[in-house]
A and B are shown apart, each in its own frame.
Chain A
Amino acid sequence: MDPIKELVVTLADLYGRNRENLLPILQGVVEQEKYLSEYSMIEVARELNLPAAEVYGTATFYSFLEYKKTGRYIIRICKTISCSMKGKNQVLHTIEDMLKIRLGETTPDGKFSLLQTNCLGWCHKAPAMLINDEVYSGLTPEKIREILGKYMEKVI
């Protein structure tokens, strides 16, 4: 069986095959694959006996359920006012310089994607970002060089 099919079946076995299990299953696919391909959404629809359009409509509502191919590490930098006020742009430029990509892009090796997101709930230690599920706050260009440097050394 192909890996996506296998993953969807495993997740459906774990969470159930009702409509209310849809979100955890989609999240499970994203955790593994980092994004939802059309193929994976069709597979989820088949497994849960739902119209594929329903799955697509639900998935695309949620900003953390990516439906375009992304890197293994998704960097989400907070762009809400408290982070903007505390030097978010310098942090963003440092990341862009280091990864040699612009906001919204993915590195050619498929390792990093750089995105913005709304309030992460770290306004008192702004600016903040998520790399996948890990949070980093109180960011400065120096801190970014240190944190991102470590990620860049990691082998995918």
Chain B
Amino acid sequence: MAFGAYQLKRADFIFKNENDWEKILSKTLTIPPREIINELMSSELKGRGGAGFPTGLKWKVAAEEMASEKFVICNADEGEPGTFKDREILSLVPYKVLTAMAVCGYVIGSKSGFIYLRGEYKYLLPELKIVIKKFKQYCLKIGFDFDISVFLGSGAYICGEETALFESMEGKRGEPRNKPPYPTSEGYMNKPTVINNVETLAHAFTIFKYGAKKFYDLGVQYSRGSKLFSVSGDTPRPGIYELELGMSLQDFVDEFGDGDTKAVQVGGASGFLVPRKKFDETAIGYKGKLTGISLPTGGSMMLFNSSRSMYNVLDNYLEFFKEESCGQCTPCRVGCQQLYNGIKAVKRGEKPALYLDKLLKLTETMQLTAKCGLGQSVANSFSSIVENFREEMIY
């Protein structure tokens, strides 16, 4: 077990029944906004899309903004390879998400909410529209004015980046903006906007229902609560699992591996590849007190056994990034292409093995100079694969 990491513990909140959403909504709407924010902050809920920004703080900052109009957006542009939890939440417990959006609207003073649903999930739309209609009817009944509508994406990974998502909603190319200003002060239509991941909102519902303590008691210090993990690849048990944060990767592999796990990709293509020898010292959670390596994640866990070539894995990721880079900034646009061509050239023997070090330098440059998380995070998977499986890149 990793130092300071906890054992793998299952939790069961997210997919537990949502039938009491009406009660939870009307109850929460009687609590002063300040207290709701305090409750969220003391739960230490952090954004479950992967970036891990404290949710309570986000709501607080947006609530303090003075503006005639504000927005609440649910980010359902789940495009990270290996992630499929948000789809499941929206099909199984959509009322939890809508309830949390409405409460957010109440807290920050917004009357308008959107769900940005990726185009790949268009088949969720008919059911979602029915649910939203019922939800709005209830809001009307209790005299709470909050509108929710769905905005459909059209197949662009980068639109999961919050500012690219705003651009997309405004009818433009999904190119990320410079930050600051942050969405809480200038988001959609340049108005203060709270944008939360689907799962974050579902956890907020848990907190409204049971109180902050119940949530805080799960996980470890700095990584409180549970999290959904999308498990795929070489595993006998692929699927979605709710686990407490802070577990060691070794425990995870013991539970989900096929006995021959060579490496685990934590956090999808933009995350890190952890080789077998580092399972023990790696914990899944946010950086903090955990010693050893702690990896935050949006929940994508892809397992690879020893029959897999890590070259093929990296090649697949780089093709993905090359296609999904929005092309706006040079480090990312050209960088992704060069990495993609570069590993092929090394493999074919057209470039010497030392060329890999040049490519590693390039990922460092991208990390420093790319405008948004996409270009910056290519370095994660690239360096963790090339450094740990260098011989597989060459031979």
Contact = CB atoms under 8 A, between A and B. Distances in A.
Residue with the highest number of chain A CB atoms closer than 10 Å, among B84, B118, B154, B169 = B154
A130 interface: yes
B170 A85 contact: no
Contacts, number: 124
B317 interface: yes
Given A63-B155, A80-B81, A82-B81, A123 B302 contact: yes
A23 B246 CA distance: 41
Contacts of A58: 171-173
Contact of B168 (A23, A85, A123): A23
Interface residues of A, number: 36
Interface residues of B, number: 52
A85 B169 contact: no
A124 B239 contact: yes
Interface in B203-245: 230-234, 238-240
Given A20-B169, A64-B119, A125 B81 contact: no
Residue with the highest number of chain A CB atoms closer than 10 Å, among B81, B302, B316, B326 = B81
A119 interface: yes
Given A27-B152, A82-B82, A130 B120 contact: yes
Interface string B259-284: 00000010001000000000000000
Interface string A89-109: 000000000000000000000
Contacts of B316: 79-81, 84
B22 interface: no
Contacts of A13: none
A120 B83 CA distance: 9
Nearest to B240: A124
Contacts of B304: 85
> Top 9 nearest A-B pairs by Cβ distance?
A22-B171, A64-B155, A123-B232, A124-B238, A62-B154, A63-B155, A121-B84, A61-B173, A19-B171
